Structure 1
Amino acid sequence: MTIDFTGMYASHDAFRRDLIRLADAVDDGRAHAVPVRAGWENFKRQLHIHHTTEDTGLWPRVRERAAGRPRDLALLDEMEEEHSRIDPLLAAVDTGLADRSPELPYLVRALTVTLDDHLKHEEDSALPLIQEVLTDADWAAFTGSLRRTQGLRGAALFVPWIVDGVPPADRATFLDTLPAPARVLNRLFWEGGYRRRGIWARA
């Protein structure tokens, strides 16, 4: 069977979207507004969960299945090395925000380029490898780890964050991957709570 990467692509797109919003806020002089800082803090949390779960629950499993395949093992080394390059850039943006540094636009740009390069590398090379060597059960174990790490409270933020501002067709595609109770909770409670937080709001 074919592994469904809908959630992975949706997460990647949400990371890209948030960095565009951060860059726009910096350009407009809104970087220190409460909604922008809330968006940045959520971005960091979601990226930490995403990358930590990959490092602990995905890449080791793929590495085991790719044993004896030097090129594929080298790719996994690259994935982990790319993760390690992102954390210092997150810290640099944090410092730039705190210090109101004139270098902030360049720091955000460096983070954006580095993360986007990593996400594209993962999409173009690592996901096809995952499709080749993992089973549906392997992938379910990884996504289950993500759900356990988020917990119900985390899901109440994660789900509406993913679909924030996305086209209706993409929104429906992502929501269709969720269990029915999660879709109901999102419709009745989670999206309203997310909107009240005003994350990334301009006013």
Structure 2
Amino acid sequence: MSIDFTAMYAAHDAFRRDLERLARAVDDGRAHTPGVRAGWENFKHQLHIHHTAEDSDLWPRTRQRLAGRPRDLALLDDMEAEHSRIDPLLAAVDTALAERTPELPDLVRALTATLDDHLKHEEDAALPLMQDVLTAADWAAFTGRMREVQGLRGAAVFVPWIVDGAPAPDRSAFLAAMPPPVRILNRLFWEGSYRRQGFWGAT
């Protein structure tokens, strides 16, 4: 049985989208407005949960399936090393936003390039490897751990954040992968609440 990576790809797309919004806000001189700062804080929160779950659960789970395969194990080392290179850039953008330094545009570009390189590397190499070695039960355990960390309060932001501005086919594919109660809650409550928070200056 193949693993459905729909939610993983959707999260990656949402990270890329948010950094595009940050870059536009910087170019437009809006980087210090409350909506942009709220969007940035949510981006950092979602990325932290995503990468922490990978480091603490997904990569170790995959390593267990790769005994005696040094080349594939080296790929997982690369994934963890790439995470460690992203963290200082997040901190640097944080500082530049707080202090309104002129380096902010360059730092946002550096963060965007570094994160995008990592996401593409993961999509091109790590996800196919996981498809090859993980079982559906392995993946269900990982996604279950993610749901535990998010909790219901976190899901109320995560789900509408994922589909915010997504093309209709991508939105439909992501929501179709969610349990029916999640789709109902998102439609009736979560999306409206999410929009009212005004991330990135949206209303």
- Other-structure match for 2:96: 96
- Other-structure match for 1:141: 141
Cα contact 2:96–2:103 (8 A) shared by 1 = yes
- Other-structure match for 1:117: 117
Quote how far apart the aligned CAs of 1:167 are.
Answer: 1.0
> 1:39 and 2:39 equivalent?
yes
**DSSP-derived class of the 2:171 partner:** helix
**DSSP-derived class of the 1:4 partner:** coil
- Other-structure match for 1:17: 17
- Other-structure match for 1:87: 87
Cα contact 2:97–2:104 (8 A) shared by 1 = yes
Which runs of 5 or more residues in structure 2 are unaligned? none
Q: What amino acid maps onto 1:66 in structure 2?
A: L
Q: 1:64 to 1:161 in 2, by over 3 A?
A: same
| Mapping 1:47-196, distance limit 5 Å | 47-196=47-196
Quote how far apart the aligned CAs of 1:200 are.
Answer: 1.1
**DSSP-derived class of the 1:195 partner:** helix
Runs of 4+ with >4 A deviation: none
How many residues are aligned here? 203
Which runs of 5 or more residues in structure 1 are unaligned? none
User: What do residues 72-97 of structure 1 show as CA deviations (whole Å, max 9, x unaligned)?
Assistant: 00000000000000000000000000
Q: Percent identity?
A: 76
Quote the Cα distance in structure 1 between the aligned partners of 2:38 and 2:6. 26
Quote the Cα distance in structure 2 between the aligned partners of 1:39 and 1:192. 16
TM-score (norm 1): 0.99
TM-score (norm 2): 0.99
Q: What amino acid maps onto 1:3 in structure 2?
A: I
Quote how far apart the aligned CAs of 1:201 are.
Answer: 2.1
Quote how far apart the aligned CAs of 1:169 are.
Answer: 1.2
Quote the Cα distance in structure 2 between the aligned partners of 1:29 and 1:152. 35
Cα contact 2:195–2:202 (8 A) shared by 1 = no
- Other-structure match for 2:26: 26
Cα contact 2:51–2:83 (8 A) shared by 1 = yes
Quote the Cα distance in structure 1 between the aligned partners of 2:202 and 2:109. 21
**DSSP-derived class of the 1:102 partner:** coil
Quote the Cα distance in structure 1 between the aligned partners of 2:106 and 2:38. 21
**DSSP-derived class of the 2:68 partner:** coil
Quote how far apart the aligned CAs of 1:202 are.
Answer: 5.2
**DSSP-derived class of the 1:32 partner:** coil
Q: What amino acid maps onto 2:10 in structure 1?
A: A
**DSSP-derived class of the 2:64 partner:** helix
